[in-house]
Structure formats: C-alpha cells, structure tokens
A and B are shown apart, each in its own frame.
Chain A
Amino acid sequence: MSKLNAFLGIDVGSISTKAVILDEGNAILAQEYIWTEGNPIGAVKKLLGLLEKQFDPESWQIVGVGATGSARRLVGSIVGATVVKNEITAHAVGTTTFHPDVRTILEIGGQDSKIILVENGIAVDYAMNTLCAAGTGAFLSSQARRLGIEVEEMGQYALRSTHPTMIAARCTVFAESDLVHKIQMGHPREDIIAGVCRAVASNYINNVGKGKKICSPVVFQGGVSKNVGVVRAFEDLLGCPVIVDDNGHLMGATGAAILARRSLKRTQFDFSVENMEFVTRERNCGGCSNNCEVICVYRNGRLIDFWGNRCERGAARTDETPHP
C-alpha cells in the first residue's frame, strides 16, 4: 500500500521552536514545542527527534517541508525545506484555516509583535513593531525576574488584582524605571503585575495597532497569549472577547505546513537530519568596505548554503571548509 502524504511545518522563533506534521486535511499527526535557547540548529535537531517518536513512517511520508520564524533561512536550508516563508504570512494562513471568520490577529512573541487584519479570510493589512522589542515577551520575562516570580505565573497574579497600577508603557526602559518606582512606593505586587500586563496591551494597541481598525472576532496568539493577565487587559481595552486557541502557539508552524502543501514542490523528507553535524561560520568578506557578514552553513563538513553577501564577491566557495 502506498503511503499517504504528510507535511511538516517548523517555526523557529527567538524564544521557542515549534513544529507540526499535518495530513492532507490539516489534521495534526504530530506536534512539539520546545525552547530555542539561543541555539536554533540544536533546537531543530532535538525537535525532529521528538517528532519522529510521534510519527508513523509505515503509513505516512513527509513530502513537503515549510520553515518560518526568524531563523527560517537557517533552518530551511538544514532540513531542506520546500517553502521558506515569513512568519506574518505563515500566521495569517494558519489562523485563517482554523478560524475562517477571524478579522484581527494579534500576535506577541518573544522579540516582536504584529497585527494582521483579515477580510473574508484574506489578510489585507498588517503592521509589525519597529526594531525595538518594547512590550514583547522579552519585556515580560525581565519584569517577572525583577519581581521574583516565574513569567508563567504572571497571569494568575494579575487576575487577583482589582486596581492595576498605571505603568508608563511608552518604552521598556522608561517602563522599567516607572515600575521600580511603583514597587518602592509600596504598590501591592498583584497590582503591579496587572499593571505590567495592561502596559503590554496598551503599548501594543498604541504602537503596533495604531490607526488599525480592530474588529471582532479577535484571535490572540504567540507566547504572550498564554498570559491570562494580558488577555484580560486586551478584552478590557478592546471591549470585545479575545480568542486564545489552545494550538495558538502552533499557528506559525501550521501555516508553514499548509504553505508547503499548497506549493507544488515535493521532497522525500528524512529524519536522519537529526543525526547530521551542522556547523555555521560567520566570516567578514573584506572584498570592499561594506565588509559583509557572510554566514556559511556546513553539513558534515560540506558547504550547503550561505547568505549575507551583498554582491558576488562575498559568495562562499563550495571548497571552503568550516574550520579555516
């Protein structure tokens, strides 16, 4: 009996790495979620190992692989992805597949935040934070550390508050000094935590969501959507219910898998990638005063891909070795 087609989607973000395997009808065959821990290659290898255990190679064959997230290029070349897509498109495709009536997608991740507006199941507009990481997961983590609690507990603390403290949310650095001041003034911890959650939501609406018409139904995803304090703050500020999907963290990976299915490119994916040795090397081209930072990726000592060069002079040669 011939095997059925399956599609792998991998989403490597700054903080977490996610993957799903879908069948032709978008049913999830396998899924996994782990921390990137500053090592995207290691995370992907580990992730594939975990997926392989959930996967039945007797009845399924992975024929398409999609990569997304900030490390999509790197991971795409390692796993031999058939589609490499930016995370905004991947999220839009993933979310509209599971919530066809969605109008607004809010997404707050570890380093960036975005808003996607949808009309009739089609993404029509989006905005992304500027290169500053204010009001993202990284901000919540550092504030949690300052308050001596786990970032996962923040939501529960926030829900116990009846009087969220006002925290200036314009900029992370200002927010932090405001927060320290409020702690020293004796504001209760619950109120401060609720204030931080509120600050994240209002900062988002005033920056990323500025000038955008936020219509219901609203779907909220990304790591920060797991914080019920922020969800509550969004509901208060927007005056409408905010949907958080249980699989919200997988939407990027799901979108990547769906895009791999829609694309006509096919491959025969093999889990053996997890046992190969991958090395990356950065070298400065030095061919001109642009001095491009060229990234070279090696599989078992052989160059498989490179990027970062602005012109041909910076192109890596296939006979270059990972250890000069």
Chain B
Amino acid sequence: MNESRMPAIGIPRAMLYYRYGALWEQFLQALGVSFQLSPPSSRGILETGTRLAPDESCLSLKMFMGHVDTLVGRCERILIPRYSNYGYTELFCTRYEGLYDQARNIFRSSGQRFITCNIDAQNGSPEAKAFELFGVELGFSARQSRRAWQEASKALKQKQKAEEQSQKELAAKPGMKVLIAGHSYILSDPYLGMPILDCLVSSGAVTLRADALESETARKACAKFSPTCRWIVSEEIVGGVLHWKEKADGIILVSAFPCGPDSMTNELLIRRLKGMPILPLVLDTQSGMAGVETRIESFLDIIRFQRGDMV
C-alpha cells in the first residue's frame, strides 16, 4: 500500500476515546489532519487484545490493545494521548498514563510509529500546552495549534452539554428509569456495555447515564460527597450518579474486571446511597450474557415490586 495514501493518524476507538474523542477529532479536523478510527469493538478485537496485553491488566486495557492492533500498518502514526494529570490534585488513573508507553512496547517489532499528546500539568504540560506541542509535532505553528485546541475544547464542552440536555428530556419521561454508571468506554463500547443498555431498553426501562453530564458540574457534585475521591474520571462518574439519582428508580454500576478505581467508588456508592436498589455488575471476558441478563432481569423486577407495577 502506498504510504502517502494512508491517513496520517489512527485513533483506537477505546478507553478515553469515548470521553475525550470529540476533543481529539475536532483538534485534528481544525488542523486539517486526516485520521481514521479503529472499527467498533468486537469479540475478535478483544481476543487479540487479550493475547497482546499483560494478563493481569483490566478488560478495558485488553480491549484497547486489540484496537491498536487493528490500526497497525493502516495509518502513519497511531495517536495515544497520555492523560496523567491536570494538576497536583487532579489525577488520572495510571492505566491512561502508561497507555502510550505500553502500546509502543507491545508493538515494538511492528515498525508502527506512534504519537502522543502528553497531558501532565505537574511537569509543565497542562492540556493547552500539551496540545500545542502535539500540533507542533504534527508540523503546525504554535499559534495554529493553540487555536485548534480552543476550538476543540469548546466542541467537547458542547457535546457534553448536549448529552446532558437530551438526558434531561429522557429523565422527564414517565416509566421506570434506571441510572447506569460506569466508565464511558465500558458503557458505550458496542461489545461490552451496549448489550446491557439494549437489554435494559428492551425490558422497557428508560436508561439514564451517569456520564451524560458536563465534567465540571459532575466534579463539583462529587467534591461535596467525597473530598478525597482520587481520580478525575471517578469524580465524573460519582458526580454524575449524585446528579441524576433523584430521577432514577435504581442504579446499575458497571465495571470491568479488575478496575481499581471502580472497586473504590462502587463500594463508596453502595455504602452511602442507602434506600435505593443498586446492582453492581462486573464484566470480564466471559462471552455468555446469561449471568448478566439474569441479574438485570431480577433487578428490574425488584424495582417493579417497589413501584407496585409487578404482575
């Protein structure tokens, strides 16, 4: 294949893509850089990822490596932003911090080139600076890059606001409502989380998502609840749960095995939110949906019993 025909950038459709992808895409678009996404998740991608990733790592990281694999040889450089922190108290899970280096190491013999965008405010590279350097590395001026980042972060904020708005409309609908909380990259993943959402919808539940909330609002809500919640994404999830819970009849906490941050926040939510049915669901590489379906079905029955609309 002629190398010049390949897109300049490949983006793995996994992990933080589901939370910050709009930012990355808009940034590249503003600069006129061609990019391509990896295909939607599937069992095949997860199987490849499981073979490639360290076996003790979380399901999402395995899925991520599978996505990287589909891009190898199909783009000039694979973009893996390194999200470390926004400051001394605003941290990201170490998984995201290590993704770029881990992927480069796993695919070291493939000849594939990688590029990162290093968001590490503690070491002099806050988000604005990180994207500026990223743009420069792509061959643009610092000024062009800064402008592209400004446009992109506006786009991300708008996207989150729009999601919040459409959920507000959903929450006003009548009927049984279930709030589903978890990392966006689990809930929105067509192989991992979507079957759960589909199962809820086909059972007649209105599904609200904790991550459909603008980041700042969510983190403020979380700070009141637990001032020591460690990771930014956990704060967003906890804050989202607190924000939406009044509208819901029950909460489902979805996490992938073994997620360290979730093991803390889910326990926190279960202990603190008394008087509300909560179902923790842990996903792993099992391909059968039977265990998950049984749990969701009976959870909805419990809610129906409480609402008094059980036959």
Per-position binary interface string of chain B over residues 270-311, scored 1 when its CB falls under 8 Å from any chain A CB and 0 otherwise: 110000010000101011101100110111011001100001
Q: Quote the shortest CB–CB distance from A63 to chain B (angstroms).
A: 16
Q: Which of A92, A259, A310 is the one whose CB lies under 8 Å from B195?
A: A310
**Chain B CB within 10 Å — which of A85, A86, A262, A288 has the most?**
A86
Query: Cβ of B311 and Cβ of A86 under 8 Å apart?
Result: no
Q: Which of A87, A122, A125, A262 is the one whose CB lies under 8 Å from B294?
A: A87
Query: Cβ of B44 and Cβ of A123 under 8 Å apart?
Result: no
Query: Cβ of A123 and Cβ of B286 under 8 Å apart?
Result: no
User: Residue B191 at the A interface, CB < 8 A?
Assistant: yes
Q: Quote the shortest CB–CB distance from B152 to chain A (angstroms).
A: 31
Query: Cβ of B44 and Cβ of A291 under 8 Å apart?
Result: yes
Query: Cβ of B286 and Cβ of A259 under 8 Å apart?
Result: no
Complex: how many Å from CA A268 to CA B266? 47
Q: Quote the shortest CB–CB distance from B178 to chain A (angstroms).
A: 15
**Chain A residues near B44 (CB-CB < 8 A):** 288-291
Complex: how many Å from CA A89 to CA B271? 24
Q: Give the residues from 49 to 88 in chain A that come closer than 8 angstroms, CB to CB, to chain B.
A: 70, 85-88
Q: Give the residues from 244 to 302 in chain A that come closer than 8 angstroms, CB to CB, to chain B.
A: 259, 262-263, 288-293
Q: Which of B43, B271, B302 is the one whose CB lies under 8 Å from A126?
A: B302
Q: Quote the shortest CB–CB distance from B134 to chain A (angstroms).
A: 32
**Chain A residues near B222 (CB-CB < 8 A):** none
Query: Cβ of A211 and Cβ of B270 under 8 Å apart?
Result: yes
User: Residue A1 at the B interface, CB < 8 A?
Assistant: no
Complex: how many Å from CA A126 to CA B42? 32
**Chain B residues near A144 (CB-CB < 8 A):** none
User: Residue B251 at the A interface, CB < 8 A?
Assistant: no
Residue of A nearest to B271 (CB): A211
Q: Which of B284, B286, B311 is the one whose CB lies under 8 Å from A262?
A: B311
**Chain B residues near A125 (CB-CB < 8 A):** 277, 302
Q: Which of A88, A128, A263, A291 is the one whose CB lies under 8 Å from B301?
A: A88
User: Residue A215 at the B interface, CB < 8 A?
Assistant: no
Q: A124-B306, A262-B311 are in contact. Are A288 and B298 (CB under 8 A)?
A: no
Per-position binary interface string of chain B over residues 44-78, scored 1 when its CB falls under 8 Å from any chain A CB and 0 otherwise: 11000000000000000000000000000000000
Query: Cβ of B287 and Cβ of A293 under 8 Å apart?
Result: yes
Complex: how many Å from CA A51 to CA B212? 53
User: Residue A130 at the B interface, CB < 8 A?
Assistant: yes
Query: Cβ of B286 and Cβ of A131 under 8 Å apart?
Result: yes
Total interface residues in chain A, CB < 8 Å: 26
Query: Cβ of A131 and Cβ of B305 under 8 Å apart?
Result: no
**Chain B residues near A124 (CB-CB < 8 A):** 277, 302, 305-306
Query: Cβ of A86 and Cβ of B297 under 8 Å apart?
Result: yes
Per-position binary interface string of chain A over residues 80-115, scored 1 when its CB falls under 8 Å from any chain B CB and 0 otherwise: 000001111100100000000000000000000000
Q: A70-B290, A128-B295 are in contact. Are A289 and B42 (CB under 8 A)?
A: yes
**Chain A residues near B270 (CB-CB < 8 A):** 211
Query: Cβ of A86 and Cβ of B301 under 8 Å apart?
Result: yes
Residue of B nearest to A310 (CB): B195
Residue of A nearest to B296 (CB): A86
Residue of B nearest to A96 (CB): B305
Q: Quote the shortest CB–CB distance from B86 to chain A (angstroms).
A: 33
**Chain A residues near B287 (CB-CB < 8 A):** 293
Q: Which of B45, B302, B311 is the one whose CB lies under 8 Å from A259?
A: B311
**Chain B residues near A122 (CB-CB < 8 A):** 305-306
Complex: how many Å from CA A126 to CA B297? 12
**Chain B residues near A211 (CB-CB < 8 A):** 270-271
**Chain A residues near B305 (CB-CB < 8 A):** 92, 122-124
**Chain B residues near A130 (CB-CB < 8 A):** 282
**Chain A CB within 10 Å — which of B42, B44, B277, B298 has the most?**
B298
**Chain B CB within 10 Å — which of A85, A126, A262, A292 has the most?**
A126
Complex: how many Å from CA A293 to CA B286? 12
Q: Quote the shortest CB–CB distance from B259 to chain A (angstroms).
A: 14
**Chain A residues near B284 (CB-CB < 8 A):** 131
Q: Quote the shortest CB–CB distance from B62 to chain A (angstroms).
A: 15
Complex: how many Å from CA A89 to CA B43? 31
Per-position binary interface string of chain B over residues 191-202, scored 1 when its CB falls under 8 Å from any chain A CB and 0 otherwise: 100010000000
Q: Quote the shortest CB–CB distance from A285 to chain B (angstroms).
A: 11
Complex: how many Å from CA A291 to CA B44? 8
Q: Quote the shortest CB–CB distance from A92 to chain B (angstroms).
A: 8
**Chain A residues near B299 (CB-CB < 8 A):** 126
Q: Quote the shortest CB–CB distance from A34 to chain B (angstroms).
A: 22
Query: Cβ of A289 and Cβ of B311 under 8 Å apart?
Result: no
Query: Cβ of A291 and Cβ of B311 under 8 Å apart?
Result: no
Contact sample, A vs B, 24 pairs, CB 8 Å cutoff:
A70-B294, A85-B301, A86-B294, A86-B297, A88-B294, A88-B298, A89-B297, A89-B301, A92-B301, A123-B301, A123-B302, A125-B277, A126-B302, A128-B298, A130-B282, A131-B286, A131-B291, A211-B270, A288-B42, A288-B44, A290-B42, A292-B43, A293-B287, A293-B288
Given contacts A70-B290, A125-B302, 20 further A-B contacts (CB under 8 A): A85-B297, A86-B294, A86-B298, A86-B301, A87-B294, A89-B298, A89-B301, A92-B301, A92-B305, A123-B301, A123-B305, A125-B277, A126-B298, A131-B291, A263-B311, A289-B44, A289-B45, A290-B42, A291-B43, A292-B43
B positions within 8 Å CB-CB of A: 42-45, 191, 195, 270-271, 277, 282, 284, 286-288, 290-291, 294-295, 297-299, 301-302, 305-306, 311
Nearest 3 CB-CB pairings of A with B: A289-B44, A88-B298, A289-B42
